[in-house]
Amino acid sequence: MTSNMKQIIDEADKVLMHTYNRYQLVLDYGKGMYLYDTDGKEYLDFTSGIAVFSLGYDDKDYNDALKHQIDLLLHTSNYFYAKPTLEAAKKLSKASGMDRVFFTNSGTEAIEGAIKLARKYYYKKTGKAGGEIISMDHSFHGRSMGALSITGTKKYRQAFEPLIGGVKFATFNDLNSVKENISDKTCAIIMEPIQGEGGLYPTTDEFIKGVRKLCDELGILLIFDEIQCGMGRTGDMFSYQGYKVKPDILTSAKALGCGVAVGAFAATEAVAAAFEPGDHGTTYGGNPFVCAAVSKVFDLYEDRNILENVKRVGDYLSLKLNEVKNKYDIIVDHRGKGLMQALEFKSPVNRIIAKALEKGLILISAGANVIRFLPPLILEEKHVNDMIEILTECLDELV
């Protein structure tokens, strides 16, 4: 580390709140699959900003769309209509199968909106407040008070209680557990089709379809959190589409804007109708700038056949990670889909991730013992090969 990089880190540590255990690295710019630090060192990126930069770094067409919108209009508030917002909403509706969209500033805000919409729908249907929500153990939905309330990992919630009430937790992939938690006050069930922060666990086909059937039979809303697993990461635009099911409410963010701060929740017509003017709002959400980014992202996905690339290269990544799993006894599991995959180890992975960073590979964990692989969706087989070479070098040196 040069003195200049150390100076930046030392000064940042004095003024920023210590809520992140940051890598001791100052990134300067990116190009395609690679990031570069302030010393000019190159890093192969297998995190994409935690599943955000799906199109890779410094994409000219994406950048030009944002530069064009900057020269036109950044913000007006939601008292006015804007063409980019309409275009983005139409494309998200078409891609998701939802009818109406509300744009937010983040995934956490999308979750907050989804909770409010579900409870307002229950209130209008029953005439009573107090709708309960069933979430899943080990789920992660965000760090605001509402999103934290439905996050199924106690360590995230404990210090901030009391949180919002009326939340129960069922066991993921256990339909009987869901049934046991249902009451006459249950207004919604929320789940990630593939749990991300919780260790990267995909839902089973039986479970997700079983939950959908339960919701249909009992008049309960089904919310899918696709903030991390959506926007093409599994090879379908939204991961639930691979299971041939559909939610009543969808949350999206991260790769929705591929770098700008934007999220959304969307719903069917019948559910969205529960909201009336004044029920929800945002100052910045859905402004022309971020929606120009969203609109361009959908165009580029289509123009470049991103979903097909995810399926093809995702299969290759799966093959190579499985080979690594079979080679090392310290690895206990390989799971995931598309370009959202993981290796689970018998012990913490922090030393492996640190060693990989030294060798020019950026990885991220999902809990203490799991390495997540969330590369940009422009990944090629040669990048997989380079990643595997560095990863195995690290494992050979450390285990």
Calculate what percentage of the chain has a pLDDT beyond 70.
Answer: 100
Beta partners for 34?
Answer: 31, 44
Label residue 64 exposed, middle or buried (CB < 10 Å: 0-12, 13-18, 19+): exposed
Distance CA 65, CA 290 (A): 10
Q: Which residues contact 160 (CB under 8 A, 6 or more apart)?
A: 145, 148
Q: Is residue 207 part of a domain?
A: yes
Q: Give the CA count within 13 Å in the CB-facing half-sphere of 77.
A: 3
Label residue 387 exposed, middle or buried (CB < 10 Å: 0-12, 13-18, 19+): buried
Q: Is the peptide bond before 162 cis (omega within 30 degrees of 0)?
A: yes
Most distant CA pair in the chain: distance in Å? 64
In which element (H, E) is residue 44 found? strand 42-45
In the chain, the N- to C-terminal Cα span, in Å, equals 26
Q: What is the DSSP letter of 105?
A: S
CATH number of the domain where residue 159 is located: 3.40.640.10
Which pTM value belongs to this model? 0.96
Beta partners for 170?
Answer: 136
Q: What is the DSSP letter of 230?
A: -
Calculate what percentage of the chain has a pLDDT beyond 90.
Answer: 98
Q: pLDDT tens digit string along 69-128?
A: 999 999 999 999 999 999 999 999 999 999 999 999 999 999 999 999 999 999 999 999
Q: Is residue 29 part of a domain?
A: no
Cα→Cα distances 260→175, 225, 364, Å = 37, 19, 21
Q: pLDDT tens digit string along 294-325?
A: 999 999 999 999 999 999 999 999 999 999 99
Q: Is residue 177 part of a domain?
A: yes
Band (pLDDT 50/70/90 cuts) for residue 362 is: very high
Q: What φ, ψ does residue 198 adopt, rounded to 5°?
A: -75, 0
Q: pLDDT tens digit string along 135-192?
A: 999 999 999 999 999 999 999 999 999 999 999 999 999 999 999 999 999 999 999 9
pLDDT of residue 331: 98
Q: Which residues contact 74 (CB under 8 A, 6 or more apart)?
A: 287, 288, 289
pLDDT of residue 157: 94
Q: Is the pLDDT of residue 386 over 90?
A: yes
Beta partners for 222?
Answer: 189
Q: Is the pLDDT of residue 3 over 90?
A: no
Q: Is residue 311 part of a domain?
A: no
Band (pLDDT 50/70/90 cuts) for residue 399 is: confident
Q: Is the pLDDT of residue 21 over 80?
A: yes
Strands 186-191 and 201-202: unpaired
Tell me the mean pLDDT in the region 347-358: 97
Tell me the mean pLDDT in the region 219-247: 98
Band (pLDDT 50/70/90 cuts) for residue 2 is: confident
Q: Is the pLDDT of residue 285 over 80?
A: yes
Q: Is residue 185 part of a domain?
A: yes
pLDDT of residue 1: 74
Distance CA 114, CA 144 (A): 13
Distance CA 321, CA 21 (A): 27
In which element (H, E) is residue 233 found? none
3-state secondary structure of 169: strand
Neighbours of 182 (CB within 10 A): 17
Q: Which domain holds residue 295?
A: 61-303
Band (pLDDT 50/70/90 cuts) for residue 392 is: very high
Q: Is residue 27 part of a domain?
A: no
pLDDT of residue 139: 96
Distance CA 326, CA 390 (A): 17
Q: What φ, ψ does residue 309 adopt, rounded to 5°?
A: -65, -40
> Which tokens sit at 175?
């339909």
Q: Is residue 222 part of a domain?
A: yes
CA proximity to 27, closest of 57, 61, 70: 57
pLDDT of residue 159: 95
Cα→Cα distances 72→28, 65, 90, 262, Å = 28, 11, 21, 19
Q: Is residue 206 part of a domain?
A: yes
Distance CA 247, CA 249 (A): 5
Q: Is the pLDDT of residue 213 over 90?
A: yes
Q: How many domains does the chain have?
A: 1
- CB burial of 298-324 (b: ≥16 within 10 Å; e: otherwise) equals bebbeeeebbebbbebbeebbebbeee
Distance CA 267, CA 272 (A): 6
Q: What is the DSSP letter of 164?
A: -
3-state secondary structure of 236: coil
